[in-house]
Chains A and B, each alone.
Chain A
Amino acid sequence: MRKIGPFLFLVALLFLGGITTALLRHNALGIPFAPGDQQFIWQLEARIQYDAEAEASQVKLTLPPVQNGYEILSETTASSGFGYSIEQAEQRRAVWSRRGARGEQFLFYKLELRSDPTLVVDDLEPPEASAPTWIEPFETAASQVIETQLPQSSDGPSLAQQIIRAMNTEPLDQNLALLLDQYSPAELLDALLRTANVQARMVQALALEDARRRQSLQRFVQVWDGDRWLLLDPATGVVPRDRELYLWQTEAPSVLDVTGGSNSSVSFSMISQTRSALTVARENSEEFRLSLYSLPIAEQSMFKLIMLLPVGALVVVFMRLVVGLKTSGTFMPILIALAFLQTELIPGVTSLLLVVAIGLLIRSYLSDLNLLLVARIATLVILVIGIITIVSVLSYELGLIGGLTISFFPMIILAWTIERMSILWEEDGPREVLVQGGGSLLVAILAYLVMDIKTIEHLAFNFPELHLCVLAIVMLLGRYTGYRLMEFMRFSDFKQVLKD
């Protein structure tokens, strides 16, 4: 036998190499060891449209402020032919300008947001409220509204709530009816509050809903409660925290200013995505070049499966060498386990048993036909495809979606399994079929259970170097010369034969 020393050295080297590389990458690149929480990402797109008329046109879009609950991950603009800059006024503003543009123009501003409810931003103390100027007859109506509501409130926010309640009560107060005829609810609420010397402002916000297009900003009112701005919906009152609202315009007088153009409008579309902290970290890092991450998404998901294979192989090696289970075909259980990953366990096992059982029935008829081996296997492959098709169609018609996933099973492997089982049945009897078939199924299920662990899936894909450790363990198991677990059962009859 070759010396055990260099072998152990090699194994230790592989093992340490894997662990060290993983640790280094974890520290240097911040790839998390745990699968990590899912994060909610919003992608917003503002689309500005206008007709350019003059020689030079300029578009100013107010950009959303820093605010509670959302972190801006990235912002980009798409606007061919326009000069672009960002100016800092009351709020940040994107400025596009162009000479000689004619006709309909489109400008895009894209924003990626991370939703994080724990994120809190301190609000600045606003300046003293400035009372609006009313014109008759609205001034009288407004002062009457304030006179009725003010005594019932203690501070700004409670007055605001009071007014909102009154605005949404049927029948409507005469004065409010008159005012609402002239002003929008948000405008009115804002004006009334400021008239009552409450620090308030009108803001515009975007309601975040997945996969919405052509949305416009909605108007809300903010009231200063002495510490921070309180957001109020003129229709319902205080906006609850879990409502997904993204403030767009707070301080600036307007959202969109276009000079040298007409018919301007801005609309918003958005989609949400859940992504892991890992993905977000990965996208923000330039150092992930030359890695699995640089592959296209489709290839990456392929590799996610491929990287699980070594783990499955480790399970098979362990079950065969240390436990001593018999399987039909060495690595057939891994392929079955991979199929289980896509079908889920129960539907997977059911459909597998179904196909193999039907296959065995048909195969027993094939024995009588006396076909040559290759032709027989090919026949089985075609029959397996037939069975799978019929089972899928039938189960779909019957409303069992599980049947559809049956097609994930590797057909050639199934055909060979049926062939082997059938020969085993003829030559060694049904008992051996149960032993080997059951062993294969058990190993496949175990491999599935291990490969299905989120942490393992995460580590296998994000730390490919850990496969060196798997390799080391597999190699070490390859030199395991101790007894197999099943041998304690197999040799149990020695108990009577051997004297102690």
Chain B
Amino acid sequence: MGWISPFKLARHGILGMNKRNCAYIGRYNERERFPLVDDKLKTKLICRRAGLNAPKLLHTVRSQHEIERIENELAKLPAFVIKPAQGSGGKGIMVIIGRDGDEFVKSSGARLTLDAVKRHLTNTLSGLHSLGGKPDVAIIETLVIANPIFNSYSHEGVPDIRLIVFQGYPVMGMLRLATKQSDGKANLHQGAVGVGLDIGSGQGIGAVQFNQPVTRHPDTNADLLELKVPNWHQLLLLAARCYEVTQLGYLGCDIVLDENRGPLLLELNARPGLSIQIANGAGLLPRLRLIEEQDNFYMSVEDRVAFSIEHFGNPDNARQPALFNETQGPRPASA
């Protein structure tokens, strides 16, 4: 661990915690809209209404007595994911990928009894996994089948893609890969690898684990810079549309790639972290400022994505066959 000079940070436009909270979250995210993203159940409902692709909601558990009879519901489901509606940082997520007799099989391969699953639901309802220990609701949704392209890049778990969307423009992206150290969780604090992604193409451009630059996945040894996220344009569109749905100006969209359904919106975050800058080796501020200078309020989702690709993407990566020639260039900002 060393120190970096504040001038160097400022020169590269690194966004700090205070500035993010005050100048972006405080300014562009209205308080009353926070529950839309803090409560995953609400997020799911508005996304469904807006037609955004997301894992299907199978069941909600709202009270203790529903847990007593939950086996009837679970019996119908071969695989499922239990999430606390108000969880944070991936806490309290239980992924069941199948059955072994009476027992449930977790993604790690561990076996759980029905009682253990019920206990997990009880804990979730009592608020163990939620912010501030508030009583919560448990969501049961479909299991995402990870796109096999990531198989060599991830230790268990489904890699997810975090996109920072500012006023509807995707500005920076990062792929989060679970590692043994992170216990299969795609959480950077716990040791997941973050791979910075070129906004233009979804190409890996740099990676970090525990804030240290890495080039290969620690468990599978796969070259992370070779990696390219498929369905990239679709993914950008999905993220950009979240702005219209939530009206949150500074938003983190967590998207997974399902083998069958393509990009699915996993969750939204009104206070996305700053590590994405390290993974990308670039600061957010220049990009955010460029967008703040635009005064074009009525650009379509497609136009915004095209703007982002043009301004934030690396043209070297974009030389590959472009699937989206239909987009026009950005309109010049009027004075």
A residues bordering B, Cβ < 8 Å?
1, 321, 324, 370, 372-374, 423, 427-429, 432, 478-484, 487-498, 500
Contacts and interface: CB of A to CB of B under 8 A. Distances in A.
A90 to B, nearest CB: 77
A491 B126 contact: no
Contact of B19 (A324, A370, A481): A481
B314 interface: no
A321 B20 CA distance: 12
Contacts of B12: 494, 498
Contacts of A492: 1-4
Nearest to B18: A481
A497 B278 contact: yes
Given A372-B122, A479-B22, A480-B18, A494 B190 contact: no
B119 interface: yes
A484 B190 contact: no
Nearest to A419: B133
23 contacts: A1-B27, A370-B122, A372-B122, A373-B127, A374-B126, A423-B128, A480-B18, A481-B19, A481-B22, A481-B23, A483-B10, A483-B14, A483-B19, A487-B9, A488-B4, A488-B9, A489-B4, A490-B211, A491-B277, A493-B213, A494-B278, A495-B2, A498-B281
B192 interface: no
Contacts of A488: 3-6, 9
Nearest to B212: A493
A412 B155 CA distance: 41
Which of B27, B119, B212, B278 has most chain A Cβ within 10 Å? B278
B2 A372 contact: no
Given A372-B126, A493-B208, A494-B277, 18 more contacts: A321-B18, A370-B119, A370-B122, A373-B135, A374-B126, A423-B128, A428-B189, A481-B22, A482-B16, A483-B18, A484-B17, A487-B9, A487-B14, A487-B16, A488-B9, A491-B277, A497-B206, A497-B213
Contacts of B65: none
A439 to B, nearest CB: 14
Nearest to A484: B17
B91 interface: yes
10 closest Cβ pairs, A-B complex: A497-B281, A481-B19, A483-B16, A373-B126, A492-B2, A492-B4, A372-B126, A481-B22, A488-B3, A1-B27
Contacts of A480: 18, 22
Interface string B224-257: 0000000000000000000000000000000000
B19 A494 contact: no
Contacts of B17: 324, 484, 487
Contacts of B122: 370, 372
A483 B277 CA distance: 14
B289 interface: no
Scoring A432, A483, A496 by chain B CB atoms within 10 A of each residue's CB, the highest score goes to: A483
B69 interface: no
Nearest to B185: A427
B193 to A, nearest CB: 14
Contacts of A497: 206, 213, 278, 281
Given A479-B22, A481-B23, A484-B17, A489 B9 contact: no
Interface string B127-143: 11000010100000000
Interface in B281-328: 281
Nearest to B90: A427
Contact of B281 (A478, A490, A494): A494
B8 interface: yes
